[in-house]
Chains A and B, each alone.
Chain A
Amino acid sequence: MSIKIKALSKSPWVFHVSAASCNNCDIEILDCFTPRFDVERFGVQLIGSVRHADALVVTGVINKKTIPLVKKVYEQASKPCLVIAVGTCSCSQHMFRFGYNVIEPLDKILPVSVYIPGCPPKPEAIILGIVKALGTLKKK
Chain B
Amino acid sequence: MFFKQLFYYLIFPGFLFASVVGLLAGWVDRKVSARIQYRVGPPWYQNFVDIIKLFGKEIITPPGRAFTFLFAPLMGIVSSTIVASFLGLVLLNSQSIFFADLIIVIYLLTVPAISLIIGASASANPLASIGVSREIKMVLGYELPFILSLAIVIIKAGSLRLADIINYQLLNGSLALSWSGAIGLIVAFLCIQAKLGFVPFDAPEADQEIMCGTLIEYSGLPLAIFRLTRFILLYTLPLFLIIIFLSGDIKLTSLGIKFLLILVAIILVKNTNPRLRIDQAIRFFWKILTPLAVLGVILAFLGK
- Interface of A with B (CB < 8 Å)? 3-5, 7-8, 10-11, 35, 38, 40-43, 47-49, 51-52, 54, 76, 78-80
Contact between chains at A4 and B56 (CB < 8 Å): yes
Taking CB atoms, residues of chain A closer than 8 Å to B49 are 7, 10-11, 43
The residue of chain A having its C-beta at the shortest distance from the C-beta of B218 within the complex is A51
In Å, the complex CA distance between A4 and B220 comes to 12
Contact between chains at A80 and B57 (CB < 8 Å): yes
Selected interface stretch from B30-38, B234-242, B266-274: B30-38
A-B contact pairs, 13 of them (CB 8 A): A4-B53, A4-B55, A7-B56, A8-B56, A35-B37, A35-B38, A35-B39, A38-B41, A41-B42, A41-B43, A52-B215, A52-B218, A78-B219
In Å, the complex CA distance between A41 and B217 comes to 27
**Count the A-B residue pairs with Cβ separation under 8 angstroms: how many?**
80
Taking CB atoms, residues of chain B closer than 8 Å to A10 are 46, 49, 53
- Interface of B with A (CB < 8 Å)? 30, 34, 37-43, 46, 49-50, 52-53, 55-60, 207-208, 211-212, 215-220, 223
Known: A7-B53, A78-B57, A79-B58. 8 other contacts (CB 8 A): A8-B56, A10-B46, A10-B49, A11-B49, A40-B40, A47-B212, A51-B223, A79-B57
Scoring A4, A35, A42, A43 by chain B CB atoms within 10 A of each residue's CB, the highest score goes to A43
Contact between chains at B219 and A51 (CB < 8 Å): yes
Q: When the two chains form the complex, which single residue of A41, A47, A78 contacts B60, counting CB atoms closer than 8 Å? A: A78
Taking CB atoms, residues of chain A closer than 8 Å to B57 are 54, 78-80
The residue of chain B having its C-beta at the shortest distance from the C-beta of A38 within the complex is B39
Contact between chains at A3 and B52 (CB < 8 Å): yes
- Give chain A nearest CB distance to B267 CB in angstroms: 15
In Å, the complex CA distance between A38 and B56 comes to 26
Scoring A5, A10, A49, A54 by chain B CB atoms within 10 A of each residue's CB, the highest score goes to A49
- Give chain A nearest CB distance to B227 CB in angstroms: 10
Contact between chains at A43 and B42 (CB < 8 Å): yes
Assess A78 versus B58: contact at CB under 8 Å? Given A10-B49, A41-B41, A43-B50.
yes
Contact between chains at B208 and A52 (CB < 8 Å): no
Contact between chains at A51 and B217 (CB < 8 Å): yes
The residue of chain A having its C-beta at the shortest distance from the C-beta of B216 within the complex is A49
Contact between chains at B34 and A38 (CB < 8 Å): yes
In Å, the complex CA distance between A42 and B60 comes to 26
